[in-house]
Chain A
Amino acid sequence: MAYSQEKLVEEKVFKDPVHRYVHVRDRVIWDLIGTKEFQRLRRIKQLGTTYLTFHGAEHSRFNHSLGVYEIIRRIIDDVFDGRPEWNSDQRLLSLCAALLHDLGHGPFSHSFEKVFDLDHEAFTQKIILGNTEVNKVLTKVSKDFPKMVAEVIAKTSPNKLVISLISSQIDADRMDYLQRDAYFTGVSYGHFDMERILRVMRPKEDQVVIKQSGMHAVEDYIMSRYQMYWQVYFHPVTRSAEVILTKILHRAKHLYQKGYQFKYEPIHFYSVFAENITLHDYLKLDEAVILYYFQMWEEEEDLILRDLCVRFMDRNLFKYVEFDPAKEYKKLSELSTLFAKAGLDPEYYLVVDSSSDLPYDFYRPGEEEERLPIQLLMKNGEVRELSRESQIVDAISGKRRTDHKLYFPADLLKDDSSKKNIKKQIRNLLDL
């Protein structure tokens, strides 16, 4: 039997708190899960620093990847199978792309990518196409198969229907992470009737569409998404931890570039600091490694690196005030000067952080927009964009919400043992 068709003698299941069970029958999927590149995802948290706000948020990208795979499997096997618009030859491609879509994520990837100008999607491509265990498994399906999977994940595949299953405004990726993140953070938002949405999904030409009767379930999903972004993903305390993490990485890179002699040599970081990181080096990085260095750097001579690491490890985070960049950028400049005078390098101790979300947007042919809208399949076979039918969605369509905060170490500003007058001026400006 061809490897692509091979089934396990007995179905394997993973117990999962969100989907109850993740079912694996395909040999290819089972082999992919066993690769070291996929197992590495166990050591990368799905929500980065969110665990410092919601202590339950310790779940990994491994959990999420299995979840996305399971959702796609249910859509294909339970809903799409046998429908004339669905080509069953795309099943394995869809399952593999779902399972591997986040494979290139690095440790604390949001901060890590920003500081070192890296892109997890580029690493996903390299892992799938490079000399890896994942590539070996995919190549056993066919010589071209790794490329086909990589193209679906990069959205450069001509197979738009499969892309839209995994990446669109209502896709398996989002449906899994909203529910999973709600479960592990313990918040009451993020819940919606996924079973209902899956049952009303239909393949239609280049896109997945939703039967009109499922519109209210989709409305609920969009509202859940909106609430999760503002209540969990953009939580100001999580952002404070993220700010400190980013600054630690910046400081360590800066020190390396200046020829600083680290007490504890950051050998895992050398190639990333030198901007010549290889796939091999990248795969060695995970959150356990990063946290090991943060703990070691608590004893470094450099006071900034040491202070930031202690803050992160002991969760002594920066405080914040609301900030309006348009009205207050001159005040920011003034604060920056005062921070420097107070002996607090503003590059590390005065940070503006912005969050923004667009809950739903639509695209109409001819417009210069790029978002693929959610389409409803009407009873007469016509397809209509969601916000034209749903008043709730129409009310929030295209409406972006943005939030800016200014972060700083309040404890140091309140310590009057040095630079008392300057710190007082700062406190006055910050309304502390």
Chain B
Amino acid sequence: MLKDHAKIMQAFAAAGEIVGRKKLQKMIYIAKKVDFPFQERFQFHFYGPYSEELTLRVEELCNMGFLNEVKEKKGGYMQYRYSLTDEGMEFLNMNLVELPALEDCLTDMNSQNARFLELVSTVLFFDDLEVEEVKEKIFTLKSKQKYTEDEIKQAYEYIEALKGKVVPV
């Protein structure tokens, strides 16, 4: 009951404050791809994998008073800052979900910038393709981001490092 809500809250508890909706989406997607049991489904959108279900879950958690959302003006756009509330912590304590190594992975991802996480999540989205095909996809679909070969290499290395942190269940 409300387990899927609890898992997302566990992610916030593990990562601490998360700044930016795009970053949040990418962090959960990457965590899901390296085998953390998040249930939200993702599709490919403008910024790479995106989950309507996750957007909804976060909105619900805000409405329930379990998550705090602060809206800030940042240049020409709005930025959103998320953290667990005391009520949220209390709920989480009653509905703890065991997710070993989640904190380590999410803290690491939270220290990366959204642009890099967008690249990492896009690489993971196309993980059934050969590396050269993935590069072609990134250069075509993400042409505005102007990712370099070197950044793509770093993304692959980052994925391997993350997988190394995950404890097999």
Contacts and interface: CB of A to CB of B under 8 A. Distances in A.
- Pairing of A with B: yes
Interface of A: 113-114, 117, 119, 121, 154-156, 158, 325-326, 329-330, 332-333, 336, 346, 350-352, 354, 356, 358, 364, 366-370, 372, 400, 402
B13 to A, nearest CB: 16
B64 A325 contact: yes
Interface in B93-109: 94-95
A329 B2 contact: yes
B65 interface: yes
A316 B78 CA distance: 49
Interface string B3-29: 001000000000000001110000000
A367 B77 contact: yes
A121 B91 contact: no
A367 B125 CA distance: 23
A158 B20 contact: no
A358 B77 CA distance: 21
B1 A366 contact: no
Contacts of A121: 43
Contacts of A351: 1
B36 interface: no
Given A329-B94, A368-B20, A370-B47, A156 B137 contact: yes
Contacts of A358: 56
Nearest to B125: A156
A402 B60 contact: yes
A155 B43 contact: yes
A117 B60 CA distance: 22
A356 B60 contact: yes
B140 A158 contact: yes
Contacts of A350: 1
Contacts of A156: 44, 125-126, 137, 141
A23 B92 CA distance: 55
| Majority secondary structure of chain B interface residues (helix, strand, loop or mixed) | mixed
Contact of A155 (B1, B22, B44): B44
6 contacts: A156-B137, A158-B141, A326-B64, A336-B1, A366-B76, A368-B77
B149 to A, nearest CB: 20
B80 A368 contact: yes
A158 B142 CA distance: 10
A354 B4 CA distance: 12
Nearest to B79: A368
A372 B46 CA distance: 9
Interface string B32-70: 000000010101111100100001100110011110000
A326 B21 contact: no
Contact of A346 (B1, B21, B56): B1
B75 A356 contact: no
A400 B56 contact: yes
B78 A325 contact: no
A367 B21 CA distance: 10
A336 B95 CA distance: 12
B78 A367 contact: yes
A400 B59 contact: yes
Contacts of A352: 1-2
Most chain A beta carbons < 10 A, residue from B1, B21, B59, B80: B1
Contact of B60 (A336, A354, A372): A354
Given A156-B44, A402-B60, A366 B77 contact: yes
Given A113-B41, A368-B78, 17 more contacts: A114-B39, A117-B39, A154-B44, A156-B44, A158-B140, A325-B60, A326-B66, A329-B2, A329-B91, A329-B95, A352-B2, A356-B56, A356-B60, A370-B46, A372-B46, A400-B59, A402-B56
A97 to B, nearest CB: 14
Nearest to A333: B94
A332 B1 contact: yes
Contact of B21 (A158, A354, A356, A368): A368
A275 to B, nearest CB: 12
Contacts of A368: 20-22, 47, 77-80
A364 B78 CA distance: 10
A430 to B, nearest CB: 15
A111 to B, nearest CB: 13
Contacts of A356: 56, 59-60
Given A154-B44, A367-B77, A368-B21, A325 B39 contact: no
A119 B47 contact: no
B50 A370 contact: yes
A326 B63 contact: yes
A103 to B, nearest CB: 16
A51 to B, nearest CB: 24
Contact of B65 (A154, A155, A326, A346): A326
Contacts of A369: 21
A67 to B, nearest CB: 22
B168 to A, nearest CB: 15
Nearest to B20: A368
Contacts of A326: 63-66, 87
A3 B91 CA distance: 61
Contacts of B56: 356, 358, 400, 402
Contacts of B47: 368, 370
Most chain B beta carbons < 10 A, residue from A117, A154, A329: A329
Nearest to A346: B1
A155 B45 contact: yes
A105 to B, nearest CB: 14
A367 B71 CA distance: 12
Contacts of A372: 46
